[in-house]
Structure 1
C-alpha cells in the first residue's frame, strides 16, 4: 500500500509518534495527505501536557490551535504569580516566576522597593527598586512541573531605568538543586555602563541581552532536569558586599526555560 492509499486517520496515527512538533511540521510537507493528517487532534494531543488541564480553558478549538496558543503567548497561572508557555519547536514547558512570587529582601518596605504596574509586563505588578545597599532576590520551582530529560536555564528578567550603583561591584547569580551543587557566577547587570566606568572585577563578565518583549534578561545558570526525582530548584541574585546604594532596577521575574546548545 502506498502513502496515497493510506487513510488520513492512519497517517495521523503515524504522525502522533513524532518526537516534536517541529518534526510534525517537517513531515506535513511530504504530501497533501500528510499535511491534512497533521491537523488531526490525535497528532497534537500528545504535545499538550496532561497536567495543564487545571488552567487550560475548555473550548471547541482544535488541539493544534490550542498548542499554538500555549506556545505563542504566556498563560498567567497560580493566581497571577506565574506564567506558563510551551516552547513551540519542542513542546517543552517554560515558566516565569513573577516578582511577587520571589523573595525580595526589603520588598515589603516602601522606602526601599515599590510595587508598580507596567503595561509591558505580563504580570499585574513588578518591583521597582528605590534604593538598597543589600540587594538579594531568591526564588524556587519544583522540577516535577518541568519537562523531563531537558536541559534548562534560569534567566533574570528586568529593566534598568536611570540605574546607578551597579558599577561598584558585580552581582552574583546562582542556580542549584536544594541540597546539591550550586553554580555561581558574577555578572554586570547594567548594560549601559561603559568599560571605563568599571573596575577590573568586571573584566569579561556577562551582560544582559534585550528580549523580544523589550525586557532585559541574563542567564543565571543551567541544570539538567532528569525527571527521575522530585527536586527543588533554587535561584538567587545577590550583591551585598559593596555597601553602595543601588537604584533604577525593575524586576519582572525569573524565567525557567529549555536551553539549546
Structure 2
C-alpha cells in the first residue's frame, strides 16, 4: 500500500476518472476501533440537539418557498391555485449534515440541494452523503472508512490503492437507519483497474450480511474488466424495510492463494437507491425520464410474453458483444448463446423451457498448470472460433475447478450439471476413474467418479455430473471440481466447458 495522500476517484459525465486528494487516514488500529460499532449517523443525540434550531429555519424556508409558489399561481390564474409541488429532502437530512466535515450552506433550498447533489463528506472523510433526483439518501463508504488488511503487516493503511500484497482483505460496516425507508437499495463496489494491474488469476471473494439475517456470497473476477477503466459492480440488492434496520456488513478478500497482486484502486462501497444510476455525476430529470421511457418501449414493444426475461438485461451488461435490436431478435440471439465475462462464460435461453442456461467455458476454469504449454495447449473451437478449448497434453496431477453464481439461473428450477469433454483418439492413462465434487450454495456436497475409459475415443461426450434445484431467493454459488491425483501420467483430453441446463 502506498504512503501518499488518500484518493477519492470520481467519474465525470463522459466516464473519465478524476482524483480528489484526501488527508492522511487514521491508523489500522484506529480504523478497527471505528468499525467495532459501525459507522453511525443519527444516533448522536447531541448533534441532533445542536441542529434543532437550524432544522427549524430550513423548515420555514420550505414553507416560504411553497407560499411564494402559491402567490405566483394565484396571480396568474386570478383565483385559488394549487401550489407547485416540490420534493423536500428527507426528514433526517439535517441530522446527517451535523456530521459534515465542512459547513453546508442552508440559506436557501437551491444552495443546499446543489451541495447534496454533489456530495457532502462526513465523519472525517470516511463517508460521502448525497441525494438522488428522487430525494432518496445515498451513502458512499470511502477508503478511509474501510478496514483494509494486507497480511501480517501491521503498519497503517493510508490509501486504498493496492500496490503489492499477497493477502487481500477489505471490510466495512454501515448502519442502515439513515437510508430512505421502503426503497430498494443496491450495494455497489466502485473500483478502478490501473493499467499496471496484475496478480488476479483467480476471482476475489465477497460476503455481505444484512440486518434481517440474509447473507450473500460471491466472487469478483477482476481479470474480466478492461485495464485503466472505472467500474461500478453491483454486489447485492435489498429493500430498506423495518426488518433491515441495523447494520450491513461486507467483506472483500482473497487470502488463499498467496498470489502477489497490485494495481487495484478501491474508490468506495456505495449504498444507492436502485432507481439512481449515477455515482460520479447526475443527469437532468428530463433526460432520466426520457431514458426510462425508451428502455421501457424498447423492451415491451411488439414483445411476446414468452420472450420476457427480466434477468437478461442485468446479465447482458457483462456481454462482450450483443446483436439484435428487437426483442424477438434478442431472444433468437440468446438461444444461440452470448459470451460473457471476457469469454469465460456463455449465456443461453433454453428453447424448450424458456429458462436461463449457462456454460462455464474452459477459459473460466482454474486448471492446475493450465497456462504451462508443456502440459496444456489452447485452441479455438471449430464450432465457434470465439470460444477456446483446453487440450491436455500430459499431466500426472489433474485438477480442474470452476463456479457459477446461482443468481444468474432461473429460480425454483431443476438444473443438471454437465461436463462437455472430448476423449482424443490418442488419449491415455484414464484406466483409473476421475473424481468430481459438487458444492451447492447451501453447503451441500456431492462426490462421485466417472470412468472415461468407458467412453468412445475420438468423440465429444456430454457427461451428467449432478442435479439440483435453485432456491426461490437464488443467492449463492455452485462450485465444481474434477480431479485425479494418483500420480500416473494421462493425456489426450479436450475440455469445452461445464454447463448448467434446466431440466
Q: What is the TM-score when the length of structure 2 is the normalising length?
A: 0.37
Partner of 2:383: 120
2:373 matched to 1:110?
Answer: yes
What secondary structure, in the 3-state scheme, does the structure 2 residue paired with 1:108 have? Answer: coil
Partner of 1:164: 428
Contact 1:68 1:88 survives alignment (8 Å): no
TM-superposed CA distance for 1:59, in Å, is 4.4
Task: Structure 1 unaligned segments of length 5 or more: list them.
Answer: 1-38, 194-209
The 3 A distance-change label for structure 1 pair 225 and 122 is farther
Task: For residues 109-147 of structure 1, give each alpha carbon's deviation from its aligned partner in whole angstroms, at most 9, with x where no partner exists.
Answer: 221111222313564321111111111101001111111
What secondary structure, in the 3-state scheme, does the structure 1 residue paired with 2:372 have? Answer: coil
Contact 1:44 1:64 survives alignment (8 Å): no
| Paired positions, count | 198
Task: For residues 147-187 of structure 1, give each alpha carbon's deviation from its aligned partner in whole angstroms, at most 9, with x where no partner exists.
Answer: 100111211111111111001x1111221225612111111
The 3 A distance-change label for structure 1 pair 105 and 121 is farther
Identify the structure with bigger relative contact order (alpha carbons < 8 Å, sequence gap 6+). Answer: 1
Partner of 2:334: 70
Distance in structure 2 (CA, Å) of the matches to 1:135 and 1:240: 6
Distance in structure 2 (CA, Å) of the matches to 1:186 and 1:51: 36
Distance in structure 2 (CA, Å) of the matches to 1:103 and 1:140: 9
What secondary structure, in the 3-state scheme, does the structure 2 residue paired with 1:230 have? Answer: coil
Partner of 2:109: none
Distance in structure 1 (CA, Å) of the matches to 2:307 and 2:456: 45
The 3 A distance-change label for structure 1 pair 58 and 186 is closer
Distance in structure 2 (CA, Å) of the matches to 1:69 and 1:117: 21
What secondary structure, in the 3-state scheme, does the structure 2 residue paired with 1:215 have? Answer: strand
TM-superposed CA distance for 1:69, in Å, is 3.0
Which of 483, 491, 502 lines up with 1:238 in the alignment? Answer: 483
Q: What is the TM-score when the length of structure 1 is the normalising length?
A: 0.68
Partner of 1:225: 470
Contact 1:130 1:247 survives alignment (8 Å): yes
Task: Structure 2 unaligned segments of length 5 or more: list them.
Answer: 1-300
Distance in structure 2 (CA, Å) of the matches to 1:91 and 1:51: 17
What secondary structure, in the 3-state scheme, does the structure 1 residue paired with 2:369 have? Answer: coil
Contact 2:324 2:333 survives alignment (8 Å): no
Distance in structure 2 (CA, Å) of the matches to 1:60 and 1:179: 38
Partner of 2:342: 79
Which of the pair has more CA radius of gyration? 2
The 3 A distance-change label for structure 1 pair 135 and 40 is same
Question: How much is the aligned-residue C-alpha RMSD, in angstroms?
Answer: 2.4
Contact 1:48 1:67 survives alignment (8 Å): no
Distance in structure 2 (CA, Å) of the matches to 1:221 and 1:123: 28
